Every structure is written in C-alpha cells, then in structure tokens.
Amino acid sequence: MIRQTAMVTGASEGLGKSFAFELAGRGMNLVLVALPDTGLPDLSRFIRINFNVQVYVYETDLTVAKNCEAIFEGLSALGVSVDMLINNAGLGNWSWFADKPLSFYKTQIDLNITGTVLLTRLFLEQRQRPAKAYLLNVGSLGGQFVVPKKQVYGATKSFISYFTRSLQLELSGSGVQVTLLSPGGINTKPELLVLNHSLKGLSAASILEPETVAREAIRGLLKGRKEVVPGMLNRVMLLLDHLLPGGIKKLIIRQKLKVILKQHN
Amino acid sequence: MENQTHVFVSGASGFIGRSLCLELAKRGFIVHALCRDVQHPYLTRHGNIRYFKGDMLDKDSLLVAMQGCEQAYHTAALAKMWCKNPDDFYQANVIGTRNVLETARTAGIRRLVYTSTCGVWGPTVKYPMSENDPRIGGFPIHYERTKHLAELEIRRFAGQGLPEVITVNPSRVFGEGPVTDSNTVGKMISGYLRGKWRLIPGSGEQVANYAYLDDVVQGHLAAMRSGKNGERYILGGEDISFNDFFARLSALSGHTHRLFRVPLPVIKAYSWFEWFKTKMTGLPPVFLPEFADRLSKDQKYSSRKAIRELGYHITPFSEGLKNTIEDLKKHQK
C-alpha cells in the first residue's frame, strides 16, 4: 500500500502539532511547515521514530509568496504529491485596532489569507494530483460571531469561510473534499494558556484541547463533512445563534461590550 | 570545598525539598530553608538548616531568606490534583517561580536549580521521551499546565545573566518520607500495605516511570554542580507497568492482596461523577476526568542525558521500593 501524504502548515505548536500527531497516528506521511527556529526538526524526528512514517520539513515563512511555491516545487522534485492539505497556519490577536502596528496587520493578512489561497491553488494544481484529495481550511467560530478586539483576525476568518464554501461549490464532484473547520477556543499556545486560564463558567467550559479538535476535524474531513464545529457546547451555541432573533443578540453583545469597555477604561 | 556555602531552598516541607535540605546540610552547606510554617511536622532538623518563614508570593520574605546565599534550589510548587480555586496553581507555580527568579537576581544568587516535572511532556507514544521531544497533547491538568508555563518563565530568564538556571524534571518520585498530597506513589504503597488499595486500572499494562527520591536529590546536587545554564535534565528511574509494580510490591512486602481490575470506562464514568460532585459541593474530588484519561496512556521517560552529563545514577526499582516499604512499615506501627 502506498502511504498517503498530508501537509500541515503551522505545525510546530498548538493545533498544527496536534494535526501532525493525529495524521501520523493514522499512518500518513507528513509534510510539516512552520517558521524557522520553532522546533520543527525535533518534532519531525520524534514523529519519524515513534510513528514510523516519512516526515518532510519546510522551515519557511508563508507570508512570502515564493516560499509557498518553493514548497510544492521541492516536493515535486522529490516525487512527492500531497493528498491532504491542512491550512492551519494563522496569526491571531486579541487587541484594540489601534494597539498593533501596521506591519502586524499586513503579516496577519498575508499569512491568514494570502498564504491559504496560494497553498490551496498550488495543492490543487499539482502535476500528479491524487484521484481523491482532501482540503481542510481552519476558520474560526469567531468568523460567525462578530466581537470587538478581533477585527482583522475575525475578518480573515470570514474570508476563509467564504473562500472554503465557494470552493466547495466549484469542486463538488471533482474528487476533492473541501471542509471548513470552525473551532471555538482551544488551549494551544502558551500565551493563550494564560488567557484561557483566566476564563470562567461557560467560556471556560467551551475551551477544547487541541488533540480533541484535530481528531474531530480529521474525522469530519474523511467523512466528507462540509463544516466541522468541534465540541458539543460550541454546536449548541451556534444553534442558539441561528435561533435567537437579531434584536436579542444585539442586546447581549452590547451588554458584553459594555463590560469590555469598562475594563478598558 | 563546598563547606559553608549558603544555599536557599524553597519548599522545605515538600517531599523532595525536605530530603534535599537534609542532604545539603549533611554535606556542610548552610541551608536557608523557606517554608510557610516553621513548625511544620515534615521539616527535617539539622544544625546546618535555618528555617525562614515565608511565601513564594511574598518577595520580601524571599529576599530575607536568600540574603547571603550563592545558590538556590526552587522545589516549592502546588502539586496537588485539585484546588478549590484553580487560580492557586497559577499563582504558586508561575507567579511564585517568577518571584523566586527575580528575587534571586536581586539577592546576587549565582546558580539556581528549578524543580520541574516530567508532566510537562505528559503521555508518551512508543519510546521513552527525552528532553528535546515535543509534548503530544494539550494541558488539561492544572499542575502540568502551570509547570509548563513556569518553564517558559525560566527559559526567558536563563538568557539574561545571573543567576544561571538549570531545570530538572523528575518523573513519578517515590521513596522514604511522609505520604504527602503530592506523593502519589507513597499513597499507593501505603494503601496497599494496609489492605486499602485494591484496584488496578484497565489491563494494568500501562507503563509509568518511577524515580527514587535519593536519586532525585543527588540529581539536584549534580545539576547545581555541572548542569548547563538554560538546559533541562530528566531525573527518572525505571519504566514499570501497574501489573509489575504491584507484583513487586507484593513480593517485597510479603503482603498479598487480591487486586481487582477496573475497566477504564468505569473509572472515567466515576471521575465524571466526582467532577460533578465537586462542582456542586466544592468538596475535594477523589479523582477527576483528566486524570482518568491519563490512565490509558504510557508515561515513559529517558534519563540518558542526566546520566551522561550529570553522572545521574538510577537505583534499581526493587531496591528503592524495598527501602520505601520498610520506611512506611516503620511509621505505620
């Protein structure tokens, strides 16, 4: 049997790392992509030894267009085609619009939007495209609930949501399964661990571990789901969002915003 | 020689800290031992140990205790399974560590050994974990998460001058000493000896790593002596399964109790019940879901780096277990 190959971007930590373990556990070869000096060589060595799969490593910056191309050129030269692409790399923030420098937003958009679009395109036009291919784009539940302090991040995830849904229409029946992952809060990066740790009640209960999100996402992708919302509580909240009349939602958000603004001042 | 060097130790009433204080004192160090209660029954008495009443969250008390010290061992931590206020874990393990580091710098301490845990790696896949291996899962366990965050504080600090910081990561520590909240192996052994511990989770084939307390204490001293700044060292022992653990415990203690295998889903269901009980009543749980999940996983660790670079020594598990049983029997009578 020829092993299938999955590419995971942003693979060095958090959800990306969990995707790497989940897919290696399923016996897939991996292409791991992350920035230099993020521990990718150690991670790939560990996975090779413990899961007995091939791991290719690309330490590169996806905000540079030609780096995206170089990955697929490199793989093509090795005779490797990618069966599954997990567009996971992304840059988040939780700050007022005025608080981050211009360069931050440029990088955020380049990575979350441009990187995802370019890699998707390159993935779909591989010379030896497999008969059945899988594409998973990591959006966010935040792409559906509009909240303050997530202005650009939330907008990039809305982009991912539209992009993915539109591709689903274009590619239906083509042998490419396209799935949107819309996770809520995840205990991923160290700095988020601090933030999440201070949450209470419902928001604390809805936070998931990254391996749970990765497992549910891959299961949904292989089953052919259009969208995966991990976690029962998140699904309930989404349902409520669809059921509640707009006026009530506005009221709730305004209440929340008042609290946030009070903390700010 | 090492004599008359003043050494600060936090967590002097803890399972590792108390043994460490005594060993340092015996070697002629003057130990400045920090504890919240200087009358604590677990404190060891020795002419070279001076007790300082203080708290990691009170920097002034830290500074007083560190005055005149060249070295520091930071072993204090909140190592329980559960706290009524989960923020206590963050305060003690992260803020406490930050306070100790900052105060050590002010006090002019030259080298500091930080006691972390193999819990920062958590479960393993196939082969034993070593220092550069990644963590596989998330951090649902408060203790592990906050110890990981504390290590990030250490890493940030290690590159910025004195003190030099060396991290040691003991695995599951057992040995002679009081059966404290964090001494989970001691609880298991003493429970078995009294005929109270009667269960083996699941198949009993799951493997964990058991480090003998004396080895871990010597490992701390070796890390202070020859550890590299900013590096971490696993201080472990043998990888042993539950089945093997209890077979050896039975053989060495002469006590044979019939043990019952409890299927993991039953344990998981029970842990949810405990979780719910705790949520409703605030009473301490016997067991929680995040720990039930862990029972299905192996936790194997390799001490090769410490053996190679620090001269770390591993006492055979049976020998350590025998000593521990004798010590517990002595105190149970």
Structure tokens at A89: 């790399």
Q: What's the longest Cα–Cα distance across chain B?
A: 58
The CA–CA distances, whole Å, from B211 to B93, B170, B300 equal 22, 7, 11
Provide the 3-class DSSP secondary structure of residue A150.
coil
* Gap between the Cα atoms of B333 and B329, Å rounded: 6
Q: Under an 8 A CB cutoff, do B139 and A193 touch? A: yes
Owning domain of residue A19:
5-264
Helices (H), B15-95: 15-26, 59-66, 87-90
* Gap between the Cα atoms of B245 and B87, Å rounded: 34
Q: Which residues of A touch B152 (CB under 8 A)?
A: 190
**Known catalytic membership, residue A162:** no
Percent of chain B whose predicted confidence (pLDDT) is above 70: 98
pLDDT at residue A265 in the model: 53
Confidence check: pLDDT of A161 > 60: yes
CA-based nearest residue in chain A for residue B128: A50
Among A242-256, B147-161, B237-251, where is mean pLDDT lowest?
A: A242-256
Q: Smallest Cβ distance to A50: which of B86, B125, B132?
A: B125
Fold adopted by B6-182+209-239+300-316: Rossmann fold (3.40.50)
Q: Which residues of A touch B148 (CB under 8 A)?
A: 190, 193
Q: Look at residues B135, B122, B227 and name the one whose alpha carbon lies nearest to residue B172.
A: B122
Which of B94, B132, B151, B290 should we substitute to test contact with A (largest number of A Cβ atoms within 10 Å)? B132
Long-range contacts of B243-247 (CB under 8 A, 24+ apart): B243/B200, B243/B204, B243/B205, B245/B188, B245/B210, B246/B192, B246/B200, B246/B204
- Residue-wise pLDDT for B60-81, tens only, equals 999 999 999 999 999 999 998 8
Q: Smallest Cβ distance to B138: which of A39, A43, A211?
A: A211
The active-site residue, picked from A58, A134, A153, A162, is A153
Which of A13, A46, A55 should we substitute to test contact with B (largest number of B Cβ atoms within 10 Å)? A46
DSSP B133: P
Query: A224, A136 in Cβ contact below 8 A?
Result: no
Listed in sequence order, the residues at least 6 apart from A105 whose beta carbon sits closer than 8 Å to its beta carbon are: A152
Q: Å from A148 to nearest chain B CA?
A: 26
Confidence check: pLDDT of A29 > 90: yes
pLDDT at residue B1 in the model: 45
Instruction: Count how many residues are written for chain A.
Output: 265
Q: Which residues of B touch A27 (CB under 8 A)?
A: none
Number of CB atoms found within 10 A of residue A212's CB: 18
Instruction: Count how many residues are written for chain B.
Output: 333
* Gap between the Cα atoms of B233 and B10, Å rounded: 19
Residues B4-14: b if buried by 16+ CB within 10 A, e if exposed: eebbbbbbbbb
CA-based nearest residue in chain B for residue A186: B138
Burial class (CB in 10 A: 0-12, 13-18, 19+), B278: middle
Percent of chain A whose predicted confidence (pLDDT) is above 90: 63
Structure tokens at B331: 């105190």
- Residue-wise pLDDT for A211-264, tens only, equals 999 999 999 999 999 999 888 777 887 787 777 777 777 776 676 667 666 655
Query: B15, B177 in Cβ contact below 8 A?
Result: yes
pLDDT at residue A204 in the model: 64
Listed in sequence order, the residues at least 6 apart from A103 whose beta carbon sits closer than 8 Å to its beta carbon are: none
For β-strands B172-174 and B238-241, DSSP reports them as: unpaired
Instruction: Assign A128 a pLDDT band (cuts: 50, 70, 90).
Output: confident
Which of B91, B127, B139, B275 should we substitute to test contact with A (largest number of A Cβ atoms within 10 Å)? B139
Q: Under an 8 A CB cutoff, do B140 and A187 touch? A: yes
Q: Å from A16 to nearest chain B CA?
A: 11
- The ipTM (two decimal places) reads 0.79
Q: Which residue has the higher pLDDT, A158 or B138?
A: A158
Amino acid at B15: F
Instruction: Assign A202 a pLDDT band (cuts: 50, 70, 90).
Output: low
Number of CB atoms found within 10 A of residue A73's CB: 12
Q: Could you give the angle at the alpha carbon of B100 between the alpha carbons of B98 and B106, nearest 5°? A: 105
Q: How many CB pairs under 8 A join A and B?
A: 47
Q: Could you give the angle at the alpha carbon of A218 between the alpha carbons of A213 and A220, nearest 5°? A: 95
- Residue-wise pLDDT for A59-117, tens only, equals 999 999 999 999 999 999 999 999 999 999 999 888 899 999 999 999 999 999 999 99
**What rounded mean pLDDT belongs to chain B?**
92
Q: Å from B133 to nearest chain A CA?
A: 6
Q: Under an 8 A CB cutoff, do B140 and A209 touch? A: yes
Counting the structural domains of chain A, the total is 1
Q: What CATH number should be reported for the domain holding residue A105? A: 3.40.50.720
Q: Å from B148 to nearest chain A CA?
A: 8
pLDDT at residue A203 in the model: 61
Among A50-64, A189-203, A221-235, B151-165, where is mean pLDDT lowest?
A: A189-203
Q: Å from A224 to nearest chain B CA?
A: 26
pLDDT at residue B296 in the model: 87
How far is residue B303 CA from its own chain's centroid?
Answer: 15
Which of B95, B124, B142, B145 should we substitute to test contact with A (largest number of A Cβ atoms within 10 Å)? B145
pLDDT at residue B158 in the model: 87
Q: Which residues of B touch A212 (CB under 8 A)?
A: 138
Domain ranges of chain B: 6-182+209-239+300-316
Q: Which residues of B touch A51 (CB under 8 A)?
A: 125-126
CA-based nearest residue in chain A for residue B95: A194
The CA–CA distances, whole Å, from B166 to A33, B76, B78, B264, B301 equal 31, 15, 20, 38, 19
